[in-house]
Chain A
């Protein structure tokens, strides 16, 4: 069995004659929590969309658990990939209640217990809000619902696109480790896209840095003072003091 949850091999995509991603490569093991950082427009969200199958690659290959999911001319349908995704804009369905969101994505998923809906509602602290529609939920509750929707069908890979953006600091500080613990417990690999340097350093097992469509850093320990580190990474982490590859103070 392939221990790798995701392999992105030299993937590229062009839009309007411009390379959005160029030879981007990444590997992600099962249960691993990888932070993908980079400035605005670096191609982070595009890479997530390619992995989810929402866009087609122009070059390279994407494999999920060893099975080819995308090559130029072939794109496994998103619903067949067993990938969960938390969208930047959340993309909740306005006509559905909290419970309906979860039961909708759980319908037809094999191996899911009948009380899975209640378990996820309780796990995400949404008790008492089961019958509320998104417009009646607070920003934090919407975010938790979005995470629950992505995680409850037991995906092989979870893609998080700025998942804590609309949460206050204490809520994000609480929810981040909780999501990581749940994913670790279930063996779900996570690709976490963020601008938030501090949270990425705190949560992730490994970091990758995307600059102008290329992965310019990928490793468990980041030393921005090292000579080999790309200038864009140094600029991104300017002002953060590191000890042994981990953040000491910001």
Chain B
């Protein structure tokens, strides 16, 4: 009975993700997909791909070595640095962008580099650096899949190079591909960083068109090419990863002997400085006195409280939806429906955020004529929770896959029905991942721009939106202090969450 119930429950978030998109597609006429100004749309697509490509390259160049060292090298400060990476991951990319741009704003220390930063390449690199902690943390987890005994056997037989080729690369490859897919999906649909650096990409076009005309099908159709590319690359890679069986995390072997000790500490610190330290330092340079921080805090406090409430709600929605979909994917009946829900989650994750937000908002306006949810905390929390439910699903489903078939069989033979198996064996194993998925969703929701911009009426500004808009009036000490407080709060909360999760795990 429980497998069928799970499948039934999982239909709710899956439908909530896919139905608005299908509705939007059904409303669009063929003419809207045939774009008039082909050259202009080609330029938009090229910009989107350029930003995505540079973001992917920057995220991998910084994230892979830092992640491998965080996962497998032995150096002092490794755990605090890993927690800092977790904190940086939670900071919304457009706040990174604001930090970087303060360096090249009038009065900034790198003013001469302004044209470099305000370009597709510059925006891509900043976006990639902001997203690189995702790569670091996935790679660090991947290192735990490298089997110590297999590694030692390969070292004896073929030496370090052979061992690296035969054991390390196969273990890390799914995690690298997953990280790349996540970066492609996030970067291709990113609105905040591109808009901040005045790079016109397709996500910006969607938001601009929808804001100007309210014509959702036409707005979404403008982003069709990048949507397809993101869905094909991101979705294909993620589907490949989640259908593979990850190993049960073990103790990471020491893969990077040369980087043990102070060398490792220095190198990881430098990479983390690029990934999140630069914007913080840049904003610090702008602050005139400590009093400014206190003043900024008192101004932001009410907004921060309201936004935190929404973020916590979104985290809960995402974690619950992700958990139910992951359980249905692994243990639901009929299993074909579990697979379909997984597909829905992948679609939801890889579709550009702006397109998903437009579809949700316009669908909600259609079915909810009295605007019960529009502009309300609950409506925003539900929309953001659904936005990040696929991410939560990915985290929970990888964790569910670590419960071996033989462990399930041992439970069944020992007299456990489905309910006891899920409650006694699966839940203790995945609860930290579910907690983490909720936390990640909450952290992303806190700084979300696209959904927040479209789901709130004029006059109400969630924290991320308010800071983003304030930058248009130029940099001053108060703004820098306000953004720094949000950055510090997010990093601190994320690090605290990671520390608590680690404490419980140990």
Contacts and interface: CB of A to CB of B under 8 A. Distances in A.
A54 interface: yes
A125 interface: no
Specify the main secondary structure of chain B where it touches its partner: helix
A85 interface: yes
Contacts of A149: 410, 414
B297 to A, nearest CB: 41
Given A87-B406, A91-B407, A94-B248, A79 B412 contact: yes
Interface residues of B, number: 18
B425 A105 contact: no
A78 B409 contact: yes
A105 B415 contact: yes
A150 B411 CA distance: 10
Interface string B401-418: 000101101111111110
Contacts of A108: 415, 420
A79 B417 contact: yes
A83 B415 CA distance: 8
Contacts of A38: none
Contacts of B107: none
Given A91-B406, A91-B409, A94-B248, A150 B414 contact: yes
B159 interface: no
A185 to B, nearest CB: 21
A90 to B, nearest CB: 8
B409 A87 contact: yes
A85 B415 contact: no
A95 to B, nearest CB: 5
B410 A87 contact: yes
Nearest to A86: B410
A82 B416 CA distance: 11
Contacts of B404: 91
A52 B415 contact: no
A89 B414 CA distance: 16
A107 to B, nearest CB: 8
A108 B415 CA distance: 9
A105 B429 contact: no
5 contacts: A54-B413, A79-B416, A87-B406, A91-B409, A150-B414
Interface of A: 49, 52-54, 77-79, 81-85, 87, 89, 91-96, 104-105, 107-109, 149-150, 153
- For the complex of A and B, the 3 pairs showing the least CB-CB separation, nearest first, are A91-B406, A91-B410, A78-B412
Interface of B: 248, 404, 406-407, 409-417, 420, 424-425, 428-429
